[in-house]
Structure 1
Amino acid sequence: MKPIRVVLAGAGNCASSFSQFVAQAQADPAATPPGLMCRSVGGYLLSDVRVVAAFDVDATKVGRSLSDAFATPVVSATAFVPLGADGDSPVLPAPVLDGLAGPLGGVVQPADAAQDARPEDVTKALIELEADVLVIMLPTGASRAIRMFADAALAAGIAVVNATPEELARDEALCRRFADAGVVILGDDLRSHLGATTLHTALLELLLSRGLVPSSTYQLNVGGNTDFLNLADPTRSASKFTSKANALRAAGMDDASIAAGPTGFIRHLADTKVCFLNITATSVLGSEVKIDVKLTVEDSPNAAGVIANAVRAARLATDRALSGAVNDACALLFKSPPRGLPEGEARAAFLGFVS
């Protein structure tokens, strides 16, 4: 298959883990590494992906290679494997806009080139890189910067995977623009491979399948990477709470019974995420069932497993001349797709799409 040329908007933790996952696949294309849900997506293997560049604003990353950028102190994702040839790809400057608003401004110094960068520079670079897919992995709440990247990709005619909670694929007006231009957009907000929301919705659907009635639930998440630092600011985390509620609503909960989202930054956890999950449900004769779960994962590899499917699905949708938001590809991979589905239906739709 022709290589899928991927550009990353954001050279942080998730970008590091995804690039490593691609490098692992490139080193042994015949293998099926743990966590790869679909070895083939419409004939595309993960080894067909090439990470050709990333955009960032951090002075310690801009102008350096991906390998060097991922080795900076602000990146806490574990380095499991070397990046190989893609590690030499450049980190290009992006306009700062609102990307460093909130707590991130205290730990990231913007590069001079990023201060001077313009949206049209992003579009120009995407065209010159002959990119196929842009993956947006900017900080939650950076609405202007996220939408700038979506507009730049649309102008360049390049498919978008929106890994953030910002509503792009759910924005009907934006999706009409993508559809009219013949460009694919997938989103919104990655549903981690086996993360808090994936486990939460699976448990809710199990209860419902046995005839139980969930009455209340909460999901409390803490971590120590820059994502959790950013989310410690309530003005930045609001869309994350909305996205998680969308996912739980699709699984059968009503809004009044949901409390789910990031609840704390604990620096020494680094890229570890800890989830405390509770569900209360009514069973036979009004008896009560309570589930309490603690889930501990490394956050960024958990995201990489989903991005591995999303970039190939975006390329496959483009090959099939689809455009706008493609819900058969979105419902399984994202917390807040255009139309939410229960996990079983979403998985069947995705597998049908990629077969």
Structure 2
Amino acid sequence: MSKKSSIKVAVAGVGNCFSSLYQGFAYYKDAGSDNVPGVMFADIGGYRTSDIEVVAAFDVDKRKVGKPVGEAIFAQPNCARVFQQDVPAGPVVQMGRVLDGVSDYMQQQPEAFGFRLSSAKPVDVVQTLKDSGADILINYLPVGSQEATEFYAQAAIDAGVAFLNCIPVFIASVPEWEKKFVDAGLPLIGDDMRSQIGASVVSQVLQELAFDRGAEVEFHQQLNIGGNTDFNNMMVQSRLASKKKSKENVIRAQNDIRGIPVPENSLFAGPSTFLPYLQDNKVAYFNIRLKGFGGAPVTIDAKLSVQDSENSAGVVIDAIRYLKVARELGVVGALRGPSAWTQKTPPEQMMYADAKSECAALAARKLTASVKKQVKN
């Protein structure tokens, strides 16, 4: 499969998730186009993981602004596991717009668990994106950053770059926002990244399994705890509503696709508490109660323990390449298959196998019937 160039990426938010992603670029720099351990699709449209280049980065923390990306990713409060110490210096992190991206609570937290605002003057984000030659802007802002996310989404449109929305501020799943990207001739993926082997995809496939085997799901609970700044930031209840909704969307969608009502009080999914000791280790607990043949009760209790940020990077490293291929094929608007495969709240929820099939087609530069409708004339 052919490719035209490298993939130039910009990022808003140099936090734990981006730290793992940037380390991953170096870790997989010599990866081939065949099966690569830890990567879902080694080759997407001719692009390997080694074809991704970071050309711009924005943050607002004084411990990161003004430093090369390769240094900033290891600065506090980042606590992601260091699995690749030797990384390129990369571009200097520039001062972005604060808006609602940083809560008072996070500014009052201890040095290792909070944010420290830089006094630097914000740069012109649109011009910076244009000057960098970025193809894609990744949104990795803290949960609850509604105004800030909308600012960066509009900046992507104004700069003519695709948008990858990894947080639960709804952009790709909102028709008005999608239309803006369509009108600008740009693709986007969103909303709210669904980790590689994370709680959301585990809940999804267990829900699918129950329905496919004829069981009735009476109750599905998913509790999450962690010790990184993402979990600390979500201790502010006002920033949490969209996250809880997004996580529950993954499970609820499997009912909706099949036309099965969701009983009242039968579903809960969301972050539960912040435990600093865990750092970037996220632990999820599942309790699923079913009725099988003859109404027989079935209970599933499970525990999942992951490195939160690496789990994120394993998905985003593919989403970047889907966006690049879509741009080259003239596909505009929210990418249905890749969004359903990589995000919790896509514009169209799909079953696991259907979403994977759509992604495999795009990875082979094939346009499915639904994607052909999104090709710009």
* 2:28 match: secondary structure: helix
Per-residue CA deviation, residues 74-117 of structure 1 (Å, 9 max, x unaligned), is 000011113533x332111101111111432222121111xx32
Report if the CA contact (8 A) 2:156-2:162 is conserved: yes
Give 1:343 shift: 1.1
Report if the CA contact (8 A) 1:331-1:341 is conserved: yes
2:113 matches 1:110 = no
* 2:170 match: secondary structure: coil
**Taking every aligned residue pair, what percent have the same amino acid on both sides?**
36
* 2:78 match: secondary structure: coil
Residue of structure 2 equivalent to 1:100? 102
Report the more deviating stretch, 304-313 or 247-256.
Answer: 247-256
Residue of structure 1 equivalent to 2:90? 88
Residue of structure 2 equivalent to 1:173? 176
Q: Aligned AA for 2:100?
A: D
Per-residue CA deviation, residues 11-34 of structure 1 (Å, 9 max, x unaligned), is 010000001111112144467542
TM-score, normalized by length of structure 1?
0.96
Residue of structure 2 equivalent to 1:237? 240
Per-residue CA deviation, residues 223-278 of structure 1 (Å, 9 max, x unaligned), is 00000001111111110111111111112272632110001000110000000111
> Size of the alignment, in residue pairs?
350
Q: What are structure 2's unaligned runs of at least 5 residues?
A: 109-113, 256-260, 365-377
Equivalents in 1 of 2:107, 2:226: separation in Å?
19
TM alignment of 1:219-234, pairs within 5 A? 219-234=222-237
Report if the CA contact (8 A) 2:33-2:42 is conserved: no
Equivalents in 1 of 2:31, 2:220: separation in Å?
42
Report if the CA contact (8 A) 1:98-1:142 is conserved: yes
TM alignment of 1:120-135, pairs within 5 A? 121-135=124-138
Larger proportion of helix = 1
Residue of structure 2 equivalent to 1:151? 154
Residue of structure 2 equivalent to 1:341? 350
Root mean square deviation of aligned Cα: 1.4
Equivalents in 1 of 2:263, 2:106: separation in Å?
31
Report the more deviating stretch, 124-133 or 46-55.
Answer: 46-55
Report if the CA contact (8 A) 2:55-2:91 is conserved: yes
Q: What are structure 1's unaligned runs of at least 5 residues?
A: none
Per-residue CA deviation, residues 297-347 of structure 1 (Å, 9 max, x unaligned), is 000000000001100001111111111111022111111000111112111
Residue of structure 2 equivalent to 1:215? 218
Q: Aligned AA for 2:221?
A: Y
Report if the CA contact (8 A) 1:214-1:282 is conserved: yes
**CA 1:255/1:144 → structure 2, altered by over 3 Å: closer, same or farther?**
farther
**CA 1:51/1:240 → structure 2, altered by over 3 Å: closer, same or farther?**
same
Equivalents in 1 of 2:169, 2:95: separation in Å?
21
Residue of structure 2 equivalent to 1:50? 53
TM-score, normalized by length of structure 2?
0.90
Give 1:287 shift: 0.5
Report the more deviating stretch, 125-134 or 28-37.
Answer: 28-37
Residue of structure 2 equivalent to 1:320? 329
Residue of structure 2 equivalent to 1:13? 16
Residue of structure 1 equivalent to 2:373? none
Q: Aligned AA for 2:40?
A: M
**CA 1:272/1:134 → structure 2, altered by over 3 Å: closer, same or farther?**
same
Residue of structure 1 equivalent to 2:300? 291
